[in-house]
Structure 1
């Protein structure tokens, strides 16, 4: 297993894809958090909040993470499909008597890459909050960062499972990105307009985003003494982000982990029996 894990790391770090996807993920985290931190210090906002600085860097950091996870999903999607595309999967499977060991090594390695993505995005977001001169409390910041790292790991593993299930690199990447950015948002709007707004929080993409967004809002408004002009701010943000019917952040985490686990298991069963000749 150690040999397989070392081989997987070598495959990732000898190509440019991992850092080519990491750069835009980090930039999104920095820009979103910078904007939120700067917005939280605006005069109208602080006056409505009785002179308190609203730590809007937190929910904006969450949105940056949610967009950045798309790049982790893409990277995970190449774990198996990249080798199938370049015809190296046969050699990889021949290095181990069991395909399951190869797939387990890929899951372990790409989990660590998901951690790396999450940590880099956290550093970028930290710089954004500092540039915006509105850094939240350290405990809240690291709590959100921890959930963000976990989200990155789960999205990466979801990509690995989808790639193993579909087997085609273009189909995996295009299909997953189109679903996340186009299909599910449309389905969610249709459900909400038909009085079925309690269903979208349990869909794949929505649950993955809600686990980060919900805890970010909870941390942002916890303990604040808000004036009458700002009292409905949390409800406004919850409605804006579609969190009205969402469970607690840990509930969304469990739902999304179930999705990732289901696709991972399906991918494992299919890849284990796929003809690679």
Structure 2
């Protein structure tokens, strides 16, 4: 990659100002934060209730699992913001001027970088609000380990940032904003779940997964979920953690968290590469 293809500080600053000067980023942050509060308040209450049943003070792993679920939901909002960020200039017909001033590739990379930063911010918001709500719900129950929280925070930030980049790639490929948003939501909420179900058909519990079933862990939404659920599953189930992750993420033969995050990184890189090629050839006049 030559230096003239990299976004300059001025291009990055311009894209950041564009992203932060409209209400989209905080309009998406509000429901993400509210969902994090609701999910983790329930997670804290459930942890406390389980503790009351078995005689312990609570189960910290449940709060980690609810935080992971909240981060999974937050990644969808991060991807939505990436889509809106990439399609906004096509919608408002300012993309030609932007490309003339900054170039197509630097603009794409700058939008991806800004979207990744905002996606990471969404993850931090979900973590802070979710942890506070979870601790409020579980009362005097023991806190999750600091190491577990730090590890999950890093994974959540990575997953949300990468999904924001995927959103930019999708928005660059499908420049119609409504079409890109619908495509993203339909894929994440329905298509990938259906594909995973089909690929896992015929694989009974306890059997060695088929090669087709193993592909489920390599799909982007599933990879993000595996990366998030791996740590809570280990806290909850020990040696049964892979089975818990399989149930929570709907996959077979899940890799460890770092492997799943690497899979999502490959998807994000491939998405940007395709957007680079397609966007570079599109007539925007």
Superposition TM-score, scaled by structure 1 size: 0.88
Q: Which residue of 2 aligns with 1:54?
A: 59
Q: How many residues align?
A: 265
Residues 172-251 of structure 1: pairs in structure 2 closer than 5 A:
172-195=180-203, 196-221=212-237, 237-241=244-248, 242=250, 245-251=253-259
Q: Per the alignment, do residues 164 and 239 of structure 1 end up closer, same or farther by CA in structure 2, a change over 3 Å counting? A: closer
2:36 matches 1:15:
no
1:165 CA drift (Å)? 1.9
Q: Per the alignment, do residues 239 and 113 of structure 1 end up closer, same or farther by CA in structure 2, a change over 3 Å counting? A: closer
1:243 CA drift (Å)? 5.2
Q: Which residue of 2 aligns with 1:95?
A: 101
Q: Supply the distance in 1 between the matched residues of 2:113 and 2:242 (Cα, whole angstroms).
A: 39
Report if aligned partners of 1:165, 1:263 keep a CA contact under 8 Å in 2: no
Which structure carries more relative contact order (alpha carbon 8 Å, separation 6+)?
A: 1
1:52 CA drift (Å)? 5.5
Q: Supply the distance in 2 between the matched residues of 1:211 and 1:89 (Cα, whole angstroms).
A: 35
Equivalent position to 1:137, from 116, 138, 145:
145
Q: Deviations over 1:42-78 (max 9, x none)?
A: 1x54554x62621110011101111121111110012
Residues 32-43 of structure 1: pairs in structure 2 closer than 5 A:
32-42=39-49
Q: Which runs of 5+ in 1 are unaligned?
A: 223-230
Provide the aligned C-alpha RMSD in A: 2.0
Report if aligned partners of 2:75, 2:119 keep a CA contact under 8 Å in 1: no
Aligned to 2:214, the other structure's residue is in SS state coil
Q: Which runs of 5+ in 2 are unaligned?
A: 1-7, 204-211
Q: Which residue of 2 aligns with 1:115?
A: 120
Superposition TM-score, scaled by structure 2 size: 0.86
List structure 1 segments (4+ residues) > 4 angstroms apart after TM superposition: 44-47
